[in-house]
Amino acid sequence: MDNLRQLIKKKTPVWFMRQAGRYLPEYRSIRKKEKNFIDLCFNSSLAAEISLQPIRRFNFDFIILFSDILVIPHALGQKVEFKESIGPILNKIKAANEFSLVDLQVCLEKLEPIMETIKILTKEKKNKQLIGFCGGPFTVLTYMFEGGTSKNHNLIRKKIKQEREDFKKLINLVTDFSIMYLIKQIRSGVDIIKVFESWAGLLDKEDYNEFVIEPNERIKTAIKTSFPKIPIIFFPRQSSRNIYSFMKRVKPDVLSLDKEVSAEVLNVAKKNEIILQGNLDPLILINGGKKLEDEVKKIMLQFSKNDHIFNLSHGIMPITPLDNVQKTLDTIKSLNETR
C-alpha cells in the first residue's frame, strides 16, 4: 500500500479502464494481424507490447495487464470466442457438475502465458505500478450462463431462483479459482490487483450480499492473508445503495466508482481510509470540448478531500478521439500542479 499512498499524496494519478484497446491505432494494427482475441491474450510478447502502448503514447501513471476476465471460463474448459462487433460468445453452461472433473491446478497452468506477460512487464515497467486483475465471480458467471453479454440476464436469474444450491457451488468454484489466479499474478510481479464486478447492479439486497459481497470479501481476505501489502481495487459497478455494505464488509483499499458520487460515499470512504477511483463518463470523453474540461475540473474538485485516482466510470470506447484523452491528461496535470 505504501507506494500507492505515496504516489497519491504527491498528485492525483490517472489511468483509464481499457486504456489498451481499439481507440489506439497501434492496437488496431496488431489486432488486424491477430484476429483471434483469446490467442492475443495468450501471446505474451504481444500482450506485453499492447499493455505498454497507452503508456508510451500518454504516459498514464499505471500499466494494466492486457488480458480479459473471460480467460477464467476458458481455463476452466468452457469454449470462449470473441466475434467482431458482437463481443464474447461462450458455450452456455447449465450445472455445477459440468466442472466436477476439473482439476483447478491443471486449469491454472493454462494461464501460464499470462504470467509470462507479467514477467516481461515487470522488466519494462520502470517506475510504474502494474495492475493485474480478474472478473468478479458473479460477473464471470453471468457470461458463463448467458453465453455472452446479455440484455436481460434471464438465464442466470432463473438459475439463482430455481437452483440456488447448485449456483452457490459454482460461484464458490469460480471464487477459489480466481484467488489461485490472482495469487499467481502477484507471484509473477503485479503490484496492484483489480476485481471487475461489472454486473453487481443486477442483484437485490439479499442476493447481492451472498453473490457479490461474500465472494469479493473472500478474495480480499485470501489475498491480504498472503500479501498484506498488495492494494486491491474493487469495482462493484452500479451497486447503488448496496455500496455501503460493500464498503463496510469488503473494506476495499480502493473503490472504483461509476456514475453518481454522493457526499455520503465521499465521507464513508474518507473515514475508512478507502481510496476512491473514478469517474469520468466515457461519453463525455468522446464528445470533448469545454464540457469535457469542465467535467474533469468538477471531478478533481469533488474528490479533492479524498485520496483519489482519476479514471473513467467504465471502459474507454473505441471511437474516442485521441486528442480528448490528451486534453484530459493535460487538464489533470495542470490541476495537480496548482493544488
Residues that bind ligand CP3 (CB under 6 A): 17-22, 31, 37, 64, 66-70, 82, 87-88, 133, 149, 196, 198, 315
* CA–CA dist 269, 267 (Å, integer): 5
SS3 51: helix
Q: How far is the CB of 19 from ligand CP3 (least distance, A)?
A: 5
* Identity of the residue, 13 or 266, whose beta carbon is nearer to ligand CP3 in the bound complex: 13
Q: Are 299 and 266 in contact (CB under 8 A)?
A: no
* Identity of the residue, 66 or 266, whose beta carbon is nearer to ligand CP3 in the bound complex: 66
> Long-range contacts made by residues 20-28, C-beta under 8 angstroms, separation at least 24?
20/50, 20/51, 20/53, 20/54, 20/64, 20/66, 21/315, 21/316, 21/318, 22/318, 23/316, 23/317, 23/318, 23/319, 23/320, 23/322, 23/325, 24/53, 24/54, 24/57, 24/322, 26/53, 26/57, 27/53
* CA–CA dist 125, 117 (Å, integer): 12
Q: Are 44 and 61 in contact (CB under 8 A)?
A: no
* Identity of the residue, 66 or 99, whose beta carbon is nearer to ligand CP3 in the bound complex: 66
Give the CA-trace dihedral at 183, 113, 22, 200, to 10 degrees.
-30
* Identity of the residue, 200 or 335, whose beta carbon is nearer to ligand CP3 in the bound complex: 200
Q: How far is the CB of 14 from ligand CP3 (least distance, A)?
A: 14
By Cβ distance, which residue is nearest to ligand CP3? 198
* Identity of the residue, 70 or 325, whose beta carbon is nearer to ligand CP3 in the bound complex: 70
Q: How far is the CB of 15 from ligand CP3 (least distance, A)?
A: 9
* CA–CA dist 50, 52 (Å, integer): 5
Q: How far is the CB of 290 from ligand CP3 (least distance, A)?
A: 28
Q: How far is the CB of 143 from ligand CP3 (least distance, A)?
A: 7
The alpha carbon of residue 74 and the mean position of all alpha carbons in its chain are separated, in whole angstroms, by 18
Q: How far is the CB of 294 from ligand CP3 (least distance, A)?
A: 26
* Identity of the residue, 316 or 332, whose beta carbon is nearer to ligand CP3 in the bound complex: 316
For residue 204, count other CB atoms closer than 10 A to its CB.
Answer: 8
The alpha carbon of residue 324 and the mean position of all alpha carbons in its chain are separated, in whole angstroms, by 22
* Identity of the residue, 138 or 303, whose beta carbon is nearer to ligand CP3 in the bound complex: 138
Q: How far is the CB of 69 from ligand CP3 (least distance, A)?
A: 4
Q: How far is the CB of 21 from ligand CP3 (least distance, A)?
A: 4
Q: Where are the alpha helices (DSSP H) in 87-147?
A: 104-109, 112-124, 137-146
* Identity of the residue, 99 or 132, whose beta carbon is nearer to ligand CP3 in the bound complex: 132
Nine-digit cell at 236? Answer: 462493484
Contacts of 156 (CB under 8 A, 6+ apart): 141, 142, 145, 146, 150, 202
